[in-house]
Structure 1
Amino acid sequence: MFTSLRKKFPAAIIQNHYPTSLESTKIWFANEEEDEFIGIDRSEITQEEMELLHCLFKEIINPSGSINDSPDSMEWFNFLYKNGPMPSNIDGEFRIIQFSMKESLDQLLLREAFQHLLPLNTILVLQDDNMGLLIEGKNEWNLDEEQLLSISHVIESDFFVSLSYFIGQFHEVPQFPLTFKYERELFSFSRTVQKQAFIQSVVTVLPEFALHHLPLEWKRQIFTKVADTFQEDSELIHTVKAFLEHQSNISQTAKKLFMHRNSVQYRIDKFIEKTNIDIKTFQGGILAYFACLNFQSDNLHKKE
């Protein structure tokens, strides 16, 4: 499979053994099914191409981890990326907040910036020049979305970089290697389809991730009637999606859309009549939400 990438990256190195030198000028990916490895010059690859490759292949992380020079950072780096032993001094549940930047930033500068902004017991683990982890034990002072945005604003104003986050779930540490694998995949997926969202989580990404992996034929059979309804009335999807995202509350939906609540009610009733999906029920709401995501995805691809 990597051979076909040569058309896009002529200078790429393709080999059948693990790379012995992981120089900073190249980024390496592994095709584990065929035991292949490819090294691409960082200067030749865009951020969007990087994100796509992350969805398809496993990136090989530089095993040195030298920038993670604190004992805690080194232990977590080795545990998560090198199958090392569990970190010491762990008690209770922990979570991983992944972050990435569209632009690269020197790791020393990035570490110094985060260390001045993070709560005392938060562990910073850097992966490379534009990705890293914030590791938190469960307590009453855990970072929330507002705090993460505040940290982002400071770093963005100082270094002119844009951050995005994926807030993981709390787990016992022995579960982390497998949990982290799935959360990394979700974060990588979210950066390719939800580029305007700065903070993501399992809750926000999983619906679209599940829809993405639904067979095309199933989507056609399940969502065709809803898609036809949205094609007939292009404004209807905005009303339905806002209604579902505001806990099926007519008044909140009307406020969000700057509409009279009677107009919202009329549109909701119209959707139910056209599709036979009662979005006032929990199950009907789930189906309709997936249909909205599918319609938006299809029309985005058509525009592109």
Structure 2
Amino acid sequence: MINKLREIFISLIFFEDITTEKTEHYHWFRSDDNRLIGIAKEELSQKDLTLLSAFLQPYHVTIPEMTSEEKQWNNLLDGYKPDTTDIAPYRFIYFSFSKFQLEPASFKEAIQAFFARKVPIIWRNEHEGIIVETNPDPNLSFDQIIDILMSDLYVKIKFLIGPCHDSLTKVKKKYAMLVQGAGSAFPHSEKSVIPYTEAVPYILLNQAEPNFLDDAGTIILGGFRHDEEFLKTIEMFITCNLNISVTAKKMHLHRNSLQYRLDKFAEKTGIDIRQFHQAMTVYLAILAVKT
């Protein structure tokens, strides 16, 4: 349907593709798959509006208008060349919250309270976007921010914390990689705050052939592939840095019980996950099964 509409209305654009245009120059509609599409007001007659409203839901975009600093970042992320590549250290933080549960302006007001200065926020749609943090504060805890925001706003929020950069070289690519990481990790990770390094395995798995993932899960995990409780224990052990004491505490298990499960896995598969490289192989196989 979208392709047919685009043949008729050449100005049709998805909200996430907005660059320097102002949203108020468009009439907005929500499609059946919950994407926001806009058509330039000057291209639509009243008859067109009536017809479109019959099969698309008219929508009023509530994204806050960009500040001058946000416009500069938005241009950079869209591929505009910077005047200079030198810049203070910065990082991108991707955020996502439940659709239609929170006004973007309310989120923006709430998030600004955690930073020493107003941070640019670039929206991809009304529930996802990135925060640009310059001179990142090493003491800033996004886990604490999540707890406060979720208790105050009553909405589920996720963050993907990007790595620090000190140059604007390939800034568009850096942004694209963060978006890809969020798209790969958010649907599968139960964590509310995910460092970018933890998103990389999900990106790799998303690029692998489905048959390979299926075979890897079967070959590596063997008879444990369909034992969700056992795999949860193994995954917890790996994410706890192969520390038996920490894992046993988190799983509410006796150390001996955990040790028995690790020994059983090694006996049945020939893989000792107490060894780092073998543990990483198993971890990827578990993620493959879960995805």
**Coordinate RMSD, CA, aligned:** 3.5
Alignment counterpart, residue 84 of structure 1, candidates 80, 84, 87: 80
Alignment counterpart, residue 65 of structure 2, candidates 64, 67, 72: 67
Q: How many residues align?
A: 256
Q: Sort the Cα spacing of 1:90 and 1:129 in 2 relative to 1 into closer, same or farther, 3 A.
A: farther
Q: Sort the Cα spacing of 1:72 and 1:248 in 2 relative to 1 into closer, same or farther, 3 A.
A: same
TM-score by length of 1: 0.70
User: Equivalences for 1:149-188 in 2 at 5 Å?
Assistant: 149-150=146-147, 152-153=149-150, 156-157=153-154, 161-171=155-165, 172-188=167-183
Indicate conservation of the 8 Å contact 2:218/2:225, yes or no: no
C-alpha distance in 1 between matches for 2:112 and 2:104: 12
* Number of the residue aligned with 2:184: 189
Moved more, 93-102 or 212-221: 212-221
* Number of the residue aligned with 2:123: 126
Moved more, 215-224 or 283-292: 215-224
C-alpha distance in 2 between matches for 1:102 and 1:274: 42
* Number of the residue aligned with 1:219: 213
Whether 2:280 is the aligned partner of 1:286: answer yes
Indicate conservation of the 8 Å contact 2:222/2:269, yes or no: no
* Number of the residue aligned with 1:95: 91
Indicate conservation of the 8 Å contact 1:103/1:162, yes or no: no
Indicate conservation of the 8 Å contact 2:15/2:125, yes or no: no
Alignment counterpart, residue 198 of structure 1, candidates 192, 201, 215: 192
Moved more, 215-224 or 13-22: 13-22
* Number of the residue aligned with 2:241: 247
Indicate conservation of the 8 Å contact 1:68/1:74, yes or no: yes
* Number of the residue aligned with 1:20: 11
% identical aligned pairs: 23
TM-score by length of 2: 0.73
Report the AA paired with residue 281 of structure 2.
Answer: L
* Unmatched 5+ stretches in structure 2: 18-26, 38-62
* Unmatched 5+ stretches in structure 1: 1-5, 30-38, 51-64, 298-304
Indicate conservation of the 8 Å contact 1:97/1:133, yes or no: yes
Which structure has more RCO (C-alpha within 8 Å, separation ≥ 6)?
A: 2
Report the AA paired with residue 15 of structure 1.
Answer: R
Indicate conservation of the 8 Å contact 1:93/1:173, yes or no: no
